[in-house]
Amino acid sequence: MKENWVDTDLQYIWHPCSQMKDYETLKPIVIERGEGSMLYDVDGNEYIDIISSWWCNLLGHCNPRINEAIKKQLDTLEHVIFANLSHKPAITLAQRLSTLVPQGLAKFHFNDNGSGAVEAALKMAFQYQYQTGHPERQKFMCLSEGYHGETIGALSVGSMDLFAKIYKPMLMETVHTEAPDCYRCPYGQQRDTCQCECFVKAEEDFAKYGHELAAVIVEPLVQGCAGMRMYPPLYLEKLRKLCDAYGVLLIADEIATGFGRTGKMFAFDHTSVSPDIMTVSKALTGGYMPMSITIVTQDIYDAFYADYGEYKAFMHSHTYAGNPLGCAAALAVLDIMEEDRVLDTAAETATYLHEQLNAALGNHPHVGEIRHIGLINAIELVKDRGTKEAFDSKQRTGYQIYKAALDRGLLLRPLGDVLYFNPALTIDKKTLDRAIAKTVEAIGAVIG
């Protein structure tokens, strides 16, 4: 049975973000069904989904209440053109989110995937500057090691060579400022106590390029794809000030951090400031439906508001923008988070998870640090704990551990040599215990 599905898969399907040749030794796992934090394949093997399926599954697989909400919506309205026409789920969702997003964010532009939301944010920032008397502000600044998606615009403001290198001739020119690197801080500081000494790099780059920047885009507090690199809220507060001083917009890409991943609803809630533009996707629908939103301040919205003949409108659309099924799922997510006080329970689970991980792996000779925020815990594996020297990337240590974990029923999928937990907020302690034990075993099987 399994062989049939696997062979047919490999005959036809080109999987995302994969070297397909790797599938010769690690066959695709054909998943039959999901329940809570568990996935079951066609042969009845089970896997703990400790990465919540690319960070989007927020409240468990096949959550009965989200399932019900989508089914109900499905029998009412499945999709409708979102220009001129509207529908209750989108209207209700925007209204409810407006009370939850960082202060000042007021208008909701719907889209159907994360990269699309980033593209919209970049175009909005560019056009905003143009329409408010700053046509010279054409460039974007981003952080080194940043990730904002894989379409051409989003890739241009990303810094990870893994995704972007080959396409460089196709990309727009952007300014990359050095991101905080708290684990290997060049200033010898600690993440919890520093004054963001590293911010001097952003100041230098603003002094050079500030007058020609349209916007800066960041992944607030957690640089996900770079290996869950975490930095303090103070950095964002300093960046806000700097942006204001130079008339540069601040774009918060909360696609990975939104909806409780960092312990608060949004990563920016850890700060005393707000971005001008915020993108959300991934957990927005509980990981059910492709949907994203680019959320902006009234000020930005107003810069596009004019008589038709002035041609100031934002001409950006995706066919499935504002899909009602996605909105229904998102509304169910908000209901559940509120009714079940999910953030409160998740905070308690998060404390437990970090303590247990620390107890199990904190002293391991190849564990450099276990950084954490909310339920996200990232275990950085190194060759030498003292010098923080990394493993030779050719050894693919993380990948070997990934395979060893799969053999043990754990979906761990590391980022390079950084193993991480980013589970559903509703995961229980027992499942976490099992996941930790499997992680320890998998690490042991590969690097001792």
Ligand X SMILES: *Cc1c(COP(=O)(O)O)cnc(C)c1O
Binder among 137, 148, 264, 366 for ligand X (CB under 6 A): 148
| 281 lies in the site for ligand X, by CB under 6 A | yes
Q: Give the nearer residue to ligand X in terms of CB position, either 145 or 369.
A: 145
- Cβ-Cβ contacts under 8 Å for 114 (sequence gap 6 or more): 149, 255, 279, 281, 282, 292
User: Nearer Cβ to ligand X, position 115 or 397?
Assistant: 115
Structure tokens at 24: 């010769």
Residue among 215 and 436 whose Cβ is closer to ligand X: 215
Q: What kind and span of H or E run contains 280?
A: strand 277-280
What is the rounded CA–CA span in Å between residue 130 and residue 298?
17
- Segment 176 to 235, residues that bind ligand X, using CB under 6 A: 219, 224
Residue 220 beta carbon to ligand X: minimum distance, rounded to whole angstroms: 9
Residue 42 structure tokens: 């066609």
Number of residues assigned to the chain: 448
User: Can you tell me which of 147, 206, 235, 420 binds ligand X, judged by CB under 6 A?
Assistant: 147
Q: Compare residues 69 and 293 and give the one whose CB is closer to ligand X.
A: 293
Least spacing, CB of residue 177 vs ligand X, in Å: 17
> Is 318 within any annotated ligand binding site?
yes
CA distance 220 to 233: 8
Is 147 part of any known ligand binding site? yes
How far CA 249 is from CA of 102, 157, 203, 212, 224, in Å, comes to: 15, 14, 15, 12, 22
Q: Which is nearer to ligand X, 114 or 153 (CB)?
A: 114
- The response to whether 114 counts as a known ligand-binding position is yes
In the bound state, the residue with its beta carbon closest to ligand X is 114
Identify residue 23 by its one-letter amino acid code.
Y
- Under the binding rule (CB under 6 A), the answer on residue 323 touching ligand X is no
Give me 303's structure tokens: 């810069």
Q: Residues 38, 236, 255, 418: which binds ligand X (CB under 6 A)?
A: 255
Q: Which is nearer to ligand X, 151 or 400 (CB)?
A: 151
DSSP 255-273: TTTTTTTTSSSSGGGGSS-
Query: Closest separation between CB of residue 254 and ligand X, Å?
Result: 8
| Interaction between residue 145 and ligand X (CB under 6 A) | no
Which residues partner with 384 through β-bridges? Answer: 389
Q: Does 253 bind ligand X (CB under 6 A)?
A: yes
**Cβ 292 vs Cβ 280: under 8 Å:** yes
Minimum distance from CB of 4 to ligand X (Å)? 30
Q: Which stretch binds ligand X (CB under 6 A): 144-152, 160-168, 186-194, 416-424?
A: 144-152
CA distance 37 to 23: 25
**Secondary structure (3-state) at 339:** helix
CB–CB of 28/258 below 8 Å? no
Contact 367, 381 (CB under 8 A): yes
Residue ranges in 86-125 that form contacts with ligand X under rule CB under 6 A: 113-115, 118
What SS3 class is residue 406? helix
* Distance in Å, CB of 311 to ligand X, minimum: 29
Give the residue numbers of the binding site: 54, 114-115, 147, 253, 282, 317-319, 413
Q: Which parts of this chain interact with ligand X (CB under 6 A)?
A: 113-115, 118, 147-149, 219, 224, 253, 255-256, 281-282
Give the residue numbers of the binding site for substrate: 54, 147, 282, 317, 413
